[in-house]
Each structure stands twice: as C-alpha cells, then as structure tokens.
Structure 1
Amino acid sequence: MRDLRSGLVARWPAAAAAVLTVAVGLGVRAVLPGDPAKYAGDALYTVLVYALVVTVAPEVRPSRAALVAAGLSWLVELFQATGLPDEWGRHSGLVHLVLGSTFNPPDLAWYLVGAAVAALVHRALRTGRSAAPGVAR
C-alpha cells in the first residue's frame, strides 16, 4: 500500500502540470492573436505530452521525457499529412484538439521548443528538490 501511495504522490505534480498546461493553452488562444497563439499552442501541446509522460513514469529523466514528448508530437503532426485527423476532427471537437487538422512544417520546430522548455523546468525542479535537506530525489 505504501508503494501505491508514494507512486500517486510522485505523479501528482506532473498531473497538476498537465492541467495547468491545458489552462495556459486555452488562455493563450484567448489572449494572443493568430500565429503567436498558434505557435505557443504547438509548444504547449508538447509540454502537455511531456507532463503526461512524467505522470505515467515519474522517475523518467528529463532528456528521455523530452525525446518521447517531441517524438509523439512529431508523429501526430506527420499523421496530419494524411488528411485523416482533419476529416475526423470535423466530427469531434476532442479529436480536433488531440490530433489537430493540417500538417504545417514550422510546427515541428515549435514542438522541439516545448520539449526543451519542459525538460529545463523539470530538471530545475528535480535539482531543487534534491538540494532540499531530507528530500529524496
């Protein structure tokens, strides 16, 4: 039972980060115009994937989580080139949010930005936590 409890405690910050990322993403779309909102949304999409990766595997190293998050984001973007996400998204708002609609090459770079920022924040938080007395890393 203790292992289950410690696993849930370890996952809580990443799950909270995922919820916060969704809120920030929706806020960005409401506040910023056009391309700045779109590209911020692309980076935040990967930050969300990163947070979900850490929620599932809380002991994952930041570099590995960044590679997985960027890779999954790239796969979704490349899948958009098939036209299927656009077609499916017309019938489901949730599918549209998760898979997007059309392939856009600059999005690939913004996914890397999101993964890098998430990894830097993750690494800083882990370093700060390990520097605190009595806190296990």
Structure 2
Amino acid sequence: MPRLPTALTCVVIVACGLGVRALWDGAFPKYAGDALYTALIYALLVLALPRIRPLVAAAVSAGLSWAIEFAQLWEIPEPLRPVLGSTFNPPDLLWYAVGAAACWLVHHRLRAQQG
C-alpha cells in the first residue's frame, strides 16, 4: 500500500475518533472509539509494513487491542492510562474485532483493485 494515503488514513482515523467523542454521548462514541483504536493500529501496521497481508494486519491489530484490554485487569501506570485505558470492559473485545474486520475488508478490496 502507498505510504502517503496510509498516513492520511491514520490522520482521518484520529480525527474521526475525536469527532465521535465531541459530537455524541453514551455508548456509541465509546464503542466507535474502540473500533477506531484498532483501525489506527491496523493503519500504523500498514504504514510500517506496506506489504503486510490484510489478514495478518487484522489479526495483529485485533490481538494487540485485546492484549491491551486484558492488561487493564491489572494496574496500568497512571501516565499510560490516557492511551491504554484503565478499566477492563468485555464488550470492548467485540468492537476491536469489528474494527479489525472492517479494516481487513477495505484493505482486501483495495489490494484486489490494484491487481
């Protein structure tokens, strides 16, 4: 994948995450944020490894998101809480998978279009 569009995708994902939090209250922005968190990890993987296969990127991004969520079962150091969170929430695991699956679908289709 070309690096410039991938880098711009990272910026758009962050903007979407901030926008969702600014515009809505309740469960929607929280779970959208979970999916977008995983999408950002996915995009950063593609940025770092442009030839990564979509399935591998999806598995790694979901796996890292899950690992961070499970780490919240223990004490997360205070400086890391804004990025890693502090409270384990089982439904987050589903939304991380949704984010990874959505990214896989888009990435897979883009690669198919490129030949």
TM-score range, shorter chain: over 0.9
Which residue matches 1:68? 60
Kindly report which structure 2 residues correspond to 1:48-59, keeping only aligned pairs within 5 A, or say none: 48-59=40-51
Q: Shift of residue 97 of structure 1?
A: 3.4
Question: Within 1, Cα distance between the matches of 2:43 and 2:107?
Answer: 9
Which residue matches 1:39? 31
Kept after mapping to 2: 8 A contact 1:83/1:102: no
Question: Within 1, Cα distance between the matches of 2:8 and 2:94?
Answer: 26
What is the CA deviation profile of residues 17-59 of structure 1, one whole-angstrom value per residue up to 9, with x for unaligned ones?
1111000000011112111110000000000000001011000
Q: Shift of residue 76 of structure 1?
A: 0.5
What is the CA deviation profile of residues 90-137 of structure 1, one whole-angstrom value per residue up to 9, with x for unaligned ones?
xx4xx333201211010001000000001101111112222xxxxxxx
Letter paired with 1:97: P
How high is the TM-score relative to the length of structure 2? 0.93
Identical-residue share of aligned pairs (%): 54
Task: Could you list the structure 1 runs, at least 4 aligned residues long, displaced by more than 4 angstroms after superposition.
Answer: none
Of 62, 75, 85, which aligns to 1:100?
85
Which residue matches 2:21? 29
Q: How many residues align?
A: 115
Letter paired with 1:119: W
Higher relative contact order (CA 8 A, sep 6+): 2
Unaligned runs of 5+ in 1: 1-8, 131-137
Question: Within 2, Cα distance between the matches of 1:98 and 1:16?
Answer: 21
Unaligned runs of 5+ in 2: none
Q: Shift of residue 13 of structure 1?
A: 1.9
